Structure 1
Amino acid sequence: MEKSSTAKWEGKVTSSLTKASADQIWPLFIDFFNLHKWFPGMSACNGIHGVNGEVGCIRHCVGFPFKNSVGKDCWAKARLVAVDPNEMSLSYDIIESNFGFNSYVSTVKVIGSGAEGCVVEWSFTIDPVEWTTYEYMVGMYQDILDKMTNKMEVGLVEKKAL
């Protein structure tokens, strides 16, 4: 991962799944108000405005796995700003938080890779964050995405087995 030459930090991480298709994984991401089911360390995620999965809806999430957070109750309000169901991509921004994420926009894209697999890409653009480094941020995103997609895949495989 290379750091952008602009003042903003830009990065992208990917995770490959071999036992869950894009059509199975995409609905889990577009369920915007229920991220806590998959995001490691997130204790709650609730819709506070709009219709779940529709552009303009806002979620309030509590609990993030940051190295140098401001305390136990890190929170953020995120707004869904774009959805493309054909491309299986969504973009959101953080409109308010208590952990120093400013001018934050992120995109998640689910890409099919055969009948039984897919790749999830998670990219971000953010103003530099005082309490961390770019390298830590990219590593954190990779770790979170790997844990999320693993939990999604295991959950889907277990559901199929029932």
Structure 2
Amino acid sequence: MDQNVAKWEGKVSARLVKSTVDQIWPLFTDFLNIHKWFPGVETCYGVHGNNGEPGCIRFCKVSATASNNDVARPEMDEASGWAKERIIAVDHDEHSLTYQILENNLGFESYVATVKIIPASGEDGPRGCTVEWSFTVDPIEGWTLDALLRHYDQCLQLTLNKMEASLENLE
């Protein structure tokens, strides 16, 4: 990668009206179970460390073909994609988790992302929160930053829909 090429930076967010920070936060810190929520992730398991703690490394396998409600991935062909990701920092008070991609076959280099969950403001009462997913990454061949942001926005929406539906089933 050319040292003079600027990194891509972006952020997507989604608002939940039925779920609280305290309900959603544990689902994100359960780092080894992202396959339950994230579209297209078939498998996720621990490689190193303790789940949800800094230093924890997970291996994720991503399906090459989008199935119902999954989003298409233009960077993938017939083969499945994979990534090893490590938690860099967790702040339980601020409901913030930062992770990086260590290795992958998806074209991501120097990738670092933070997921932060922000409580709803007072007018909404105790319910509701906003989930922000921000990232920096070297430009990815075959993508534009706008396309990546649209992809992330769609993935975040689908992820949160699954999370919120699972919480409704518990009530």
TM-score range normalised by the length of the shorter chain: over 0.9
Q: Choose from 139, 143, 146 the match for 1:135.
A: 146
Q: Choose from 83, 89, 94 the match for 1:87.
A: 94
Q: Which residue of 2 aligns with 1:15?
A: 14
* Residue 68 (str. 1) matches residue 79 (str. 2): no
Return the TM-score normalized by structure 2: 0.88
Gaps of 5+ in 1: 1-5
- Aligned-pair identity in percent equals 52
Q: What is the RMSD of the two structures over their aligned residues, measured on CA atoms?
A: 1.1
Gaps of 5+ in 2: 64-71
Matched letter for residue 132 of structure 2? E
* Aligned-residue offset at 1:70: 4.3
CA distance in 1, matches of 2:53, 2:17: 29
Preserved contact between residue 82 and residue 104 of structure 2 (Cα < 8 Å): yes
Q: Which residue of 2 aligns with 1:112?
A: 119
Give the ranges of 4+ consecutive aligned residues of structure 1 lying more than 6 Å apart after TM superposition.
none
Return the TM-score normalized by structure 1: 0.92
Listed one character per residue, the Cα deviations across residues 45-99 of structure 1 (whole Å, up to 9, x for unaligned) are 1011000001001000011652221443100000000000000000000000001
CA distance in 2, matches of 1:155, 1:105: 28
3-state DSSP of counterpart to 1:148: helix
Q: Which moved more, 1:134-143 or 1:62-71?
A: 62-71
Q: Which residue of 1 aligns with 2:69?
A: none
State how many pairs are aligned.
155
